[in-house]
Amino acid sequence: MVNTLTEKQIEAGKELIKEADALKIKTMAALWFYFQDQEAWKLMLSIKGVENDGPKLTYSKLQKVIAKAKIKDQLALSEIVLAKPVSPLLELLKTAVKTGPGISGVRFTGNVINGHLIQDAYIYRLI
């Protein structure tokens, strides 16, 4: 049974990206991804500089962004997963979808890319 991605989650993700952009946090990829093994949606972010800053500092920055965007009631830090800019999943998705630097809303459901099934994703940005 696939948990449903809610409109509230979609809007919270969008607000997070808008606020991160305003604060000059370079988000290279942002998408809700359904992790079938966990039966859960996670907001996957690839942020430039995470390799140097480390995940702890990056999560700390994101916590501030969530508070500033006033979405702490809609999005918990535990729903966010950081990905390296050159992660296999993001590279795979980029072969099928490129959005540019804006904030898009691409639903990507039940697609196979190079033999890999992407059960479900909602893509804001893949650059």
Where in the chain are the domains? 7-126
Q: For tokens 């702490």, name the residue.
A: 72
pLDDT tier, 118 (very low <50, low <70, confident <90, very high otherwise) = very high
pLDDT greater than 70 at residue 36: yes
More confident residue, 109 or 86: 109
pTM for the whole structure = 0.93
List, in sequence order, the alpha helices (H) in the chain.
7-22, 50-68, 88-94
Mean residue pLDDT across the chain: 93
Q: What dihedral do alpha carbons 80, 69, 3, 29 form, nearest 10°?
A: -50
Report angle CA 115, 7, 82 to the nearest 5 degrees.
55
pLDDT greater than 50 at residue 1: no
**Dihedral sign from CA coordinates of 88, 98, 23, 9:** negative
For 32, list phi and psi in degrees, rounded to 5.
-85, 130
Amino acid at 127: I
